[in-house]
Amino acid sequence: EGFRDNLKIYVQGGAGGNGLPKFGGVGGNGGNVVVAAKEDISLETVFKSNKTKQYIAKGGRHASHNFILGIPGEDLRFEVPVGVSIITELGKKLGELNNEGDELVLAKGGTGGHAKNGFLGTKGQAYFVSLDLKLIADIGLVGFPNAGKSTLLRSISQAKPKVASYPFTTVKPNIGIMVYKDHRQISMADLPGLIEGAHANRGMGHEFLKHVERTKLLLMVVDINGFQLGPQYPHRSCLETVMLLIKELEMYNEDMLMKPSMILINKMDSEGSLERFQEIRDHLKNLPEFFKQYPEEMRPNKTLNFCDIIPISAKEHPDDVEHVKQKLRKLLDVLAELEKEEEDQSTEIIENVRKSLKEKGPVLV
């Protein structure tokens, strides 16, 4: 099944039915177009189930001698994947559906005709909207093309991404599921390689950076030997690729740099890699200092604080991959614990405020 993360559709609420002036009859209201979030379906499925891409609700019935109150039009309901944002043509966000069962009225039906509107039913709302999907995964893999992200995903999970040694092997996001011995599952999204200027929509960067927004943890993968997109592009050292990746994330949305992150220095089976890693390890622990030697337009204002720096060979050393798998689990568990503590604390604060209000009564200033 093809991967689709955006779908443009037309929605139209049903028209209100006309009233009946002679008897004071009221027309039925038009139906609404309602969308609901559902797990385990894709936008491709939504597209295939209605290739016209038109969602039009039923109109309300006119009032008549037999039906002084016109029957309302039926709502049109359909389902979309969890993680969809709905945006109008003018760029207005109507809402997000982030949990199974979340619902949103996309287009309201028209009002039935009655005395105040001259007994003429009004039209329903009608416009084009975009369904924009952000994948939900525990971990988002971030790196330039060819850093070895797909190789890592293959060896760490059951995903089968295409692996080859040319940039942009991954042209659509792959989700891999890491399964542990006790059946715990952790999902990892491999996004197509970023390139410099991705935030400005060069390459396919921008489209895919949105998927990283929903992940709990960023896993940066860089090649110890650095990276060169092509002969006409400059060669970037390993540390430069780290800097440029952070810059891309910051330019897209600086909140991304608040996310917990871990970095893998890959291709440690290549010649001279150990010496190279020893040269850069201290810099990775103090990136702002390293960034100072570069022009302002290249360096980010803030940086990621890596919880861990791990040298690996995803291709040659399965033990490295297993080590990463266990580290990721540990880190996600710690994050979940911290989140729970924060929630408990804020609940406690609210409870204390409520308590003291009860005891003292509200204070009027």
Q: Over the stretch 154-185, which tens digit does the pLDDT of each residue have?
A: 888 765 544 444 444 445 667 778 888 888 88
Give the number of C-alpha atoms closer than 13 A to the C-alpha of residue 40, restricted to the C-beta side. 0
Strand partners, 130: 8, 87
Q: Name the residue with tokens 């049109």.
A: 76
Query: Same CATH fold, 139-339 and 6-133?
Result: no
What is the distance between the alpha carbons of residues 80 and 277, in angstroms, rounded to a whole number? Answer: 46
Residue 215's pLDDT is 87
pTM: 0.69
> Edge-to-edge strands of the sheet including 84-88?
54-56, 6-12, 126-133, 84-88, 93-97
Residue 228's pLDDT is 84
Domain residue spans in the chain? 6-133, 139-339
- Total Cβ atoms within 10 A of residue 127: 14
> Is residue 87 within 8 Å of 106, Cβ to Cβ?
no
Q: Name the residue with tokens 């330019």.
A: 251
Q: How many residues does the chain have?
A: 365
What is the distance between the alpha carbons of residues 11 and 169, in angstroms, rounded to a whole number? Answer: 36
**In CATH, what class is 6-133?**
mainly beta
- Total Cβ atoms within 10 A of residue 157: 22
What is the distance between the alpha carbons of residues 325 and 211, in angstroms, rounded to a whole number? Answer: 21
Helices 318-360 and 149-156 meet at what angle, rounded to 10?
80
Residue 60's pLDDT is 98
> Is residue 154 within 8 Å of 315, Cβ to Cβ?
no
Give tens-digit pLDDT for 128-142: 999 988 776 889 888
Residue 357's pLDDT is 66
Please give the chain's pLDDT, 365 residues, in tens: 456 888 999 999 999 999 999 999 999 999 999 999 998 888 889 999 999 999 999 999 999 999 999 999 999 999 999 889 999 988 888 999 988 999 999 999 999 999 999 999 999 999 999 998 877 688 988 888 777 777 887 888 765 544 444 444 445 667 778 888 888 888 888 776 566 554 555 445 556 777 788 789 999 999 999 988 778 888 999 999 999 999 988 988 899 999 999 999 999 999 999 999 999 999 999 999 999 999 988 899 999 999 999 999 988 888 998 999 999 999 999 988 888 888 788 778 777 877 766 665 544 44
> Is residue 191 within 8 Å of 211, Cβ to Cβ?
yes
Nearest to 125 by CA among 88, 96, 95, 97: 88
Is residue 87 helix, strand or coil? strand
Q: HEC states along 236-304?
A: ECHHHHHHHHHHHHHHHCHHHHHCCEEEEEECCCCCCHHHHHHHHHHHHHCHHHHHCCCCCCCCCCCCC
> Is residue 158 within 8 Å of 179, Cβ to Cβ?
yes
Give the number of C-alpha atoms closer than 13 A to the C-alpha of residue 175, restricted to the C-beta side. 13
What is the distance between the alpha carbons of residues 330 and 260, in angstroms, rounded to a whole number? Answer: 13
Strand partners, 12: 56, 126
**What's 167's DSSP letter?**
S
Residue 102's pLDDT is 95
CATH number of the structural domain 139-339: 3.40.50.300
Residue 137's pLDDT is 80
